[in-house]
A and B are shown apart, each in its own frame.
Chain A
Amino acid sequence: DVKVTQSSRYLVKRTGEKVFLECVQDMDHENMFWYRQDPGLGLRLIYFSYDVKMKEKGDIPEGYSVSREKKERFSLILESASTNQTSMYLCASSTGYSNQPQHFGDGTRLSIL
């Protein structure tokens, strides 16, 4: 089974801090994704990557950046955390192109105080 592991289940940070969320997948998937999930808004795509060192903006990239130095690892960076970035963050991976199922981690619940 595909395993997508997110480094933390819960994280509390302060406004203005630089925050790193890490995601690792163990199935050699080409594609990796970062979403945030908020009540009433559902899952929204922040960034995705189809290859090492490659990134594409999703629907809501503002305030975020990503890094993919190795195929199995995709990091989401909040450059200067703000309270409106308090959310559940979900990482996913998939093989091939966009018609393939995505495999999700269990999420990081991030609170910015």
Chain B
Amino acid sequence: SQKIEQNSEALNIQEGKTATLTCNYTNYSPAYLQWYRQDPGRGPVFLLLIRENEKEKRKERLKVTFDTTLKQSLFHITASQPADSATYLCALAAGNQFYFGTGTSLTVIP
């Protein structure tokens, strides 16, 4: 079955720096990949979708890249703020199934 790995369980960065989160997948070539944010005690909230023919997608301080050769997506938060502290999940559809990574917990230190 599809396997999705996110680079680390936890990432701490200083306020103002750029956070980079990694999502690697195997066994399939998805047509798109999604990123979600999850706060404690809440359900995930959709942030961005990137298609296989899009190398890069931006939304305000967020940037996502998608390298289908490396089977990898990178998620960047520029000028990070303490309010960006949350768990970030990547997700993809394979056939008629939907798979999520285990998430990376980001803490932005003031």
A interface residue numbers (CB < 8 A to B) = 4, 33, 35, 40-45, 48, 56, 58-59, 90, 92, 98-99, 101-107
Contacts and interface: CB of A to CB of B under 8 A. Distances in A.
10 contacts: A40-B102, A42-B100, A42-B101, A45-B99, A48-B98, A58-B97, A99-B49, A101-B34, A101-B49, A102-B44
**What secondary structure prevails in chain B residues at the interface with A?**
strand
A106 B42 CA distance: 5
A44 B98 CA distance: 9
Nearest to A103: B46
Interface residues of B, number: 22
B109 interface: no
Contacts of B93: 98-99
B96 interface: yes
Given A43-B100, A98-B93, 4 more contacts: A90-B44, A99-B49, A102-B46, A102-B98
Contacts of A35: 100
Given A43-B44, A106-B41, A98 B98 contact: yes
Given A41-B102, A42-B103, A99-B32, A104 B96 contact: no
B102 A99 contact: no
Nearest to B47: A101
A106 B43 contact: yes
Contacts of B97: 45, 58-59
Contacts of A58: 97-98
A39 to B, nearest CB: 9
Contacts of A99: 31-32, 49, 93
A105 B102 contact: no
A59 B99 CA distance: 9
Given A42-B89, A42-B102, A59-B1, A98 B43 contact: no
B10 interface: no
